[in-house]
């Protein structure tokens, strides 16, 4: 079956512009996560959705970052007024059930964001 998909796969933008990154989770997965992977930093948690609600958004680095999820499915991560330090790979993951951290998180291929 289809895995987690993300679009675009690559995005190059100029400093100060807004960007939107999209994630399509695996059908039926209620939990959705966004992570950021920077060179030498590993994966950093950004936000977690259960359904359309975000019980944990503690990893969002600033108020320039926001995310939403609609219909319990697609999610978009928006970065306003992008800065060069926002350059990273943004990864989305989904899992079937909430409440269990060992429930396998399936990752998408990521969106590689470059801010010039």
Partner 1 sequence: QKEVEQDPGPLSVPEGAIVSLNCTYSNSAFQYFMWYRQYSRKGPELLMYTYSSGNKEDGRFTAQVDKSSKYISLFIRDSQPSDSATYLCAKEAFQGAQKLVFGQGTRLTINP
- Can you give the binding site for partner 1, defined by CB under 8 A? 4, 31, 33, 35, 40-45, 48, 50, 55-56, 59, 91, 93, 98-99, 101-102, 104-110
Residue 79 contacts residue 55 (beta carbons within 8 Å): no
Q: Which is nearer to partner 1, 72 or 80 (CB)?
A: 72
Q: Which is nearer to partner 1, 45 or 76 (CB)?
A: 45
DSSP strand E in the chain: where?
Answer: 5-7, 10-13, 19-24, 31-38, 42-50, 53-56, 65-69, 75-79, 88-95, 106-107, 111-115
Which residue, among 91, 94, 101, 107, has the nearest Cα to 41 in the 3D structure? 91
Q: Which is nearer to partner 1, 40 or 71 (CB)?
A: 40
Tally of CB atoms within 10 A around 33? 24
**CB 88 to partner 1: min, Å:** 14
**CB 80 to partner 1: min, Å:** 23
**CB 73 to partner 1: min, Å:** 18
Q: Which is nearer to partner 1, 56 or 76 (CB)?
A: 56
């Amino acid at each position: 079956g289809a895995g987690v998909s993300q679009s675009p796969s690559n995005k190059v933008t100029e400093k100060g512009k807004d960007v939107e990154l999209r994630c399509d989770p695996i059908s039926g997965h209620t939990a959705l996560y966004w992570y950021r992977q920077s060179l030498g930093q590993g994966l950093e948690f950004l936000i977690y959705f259960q359904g359309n609600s975000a019980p944990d958004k503690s990893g969002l680095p600033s108020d320039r970052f926001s995310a939403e999820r609609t219909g319990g499915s697609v999610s978009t991560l928006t970065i306003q007024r992008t800065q060069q330090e926002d350059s990273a790979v943004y990864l989305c993951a989904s899992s079937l059930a909430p409440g269990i951290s060992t429930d396998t998180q399936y990752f998408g291929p990521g969106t590689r964001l470059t801010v010039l």
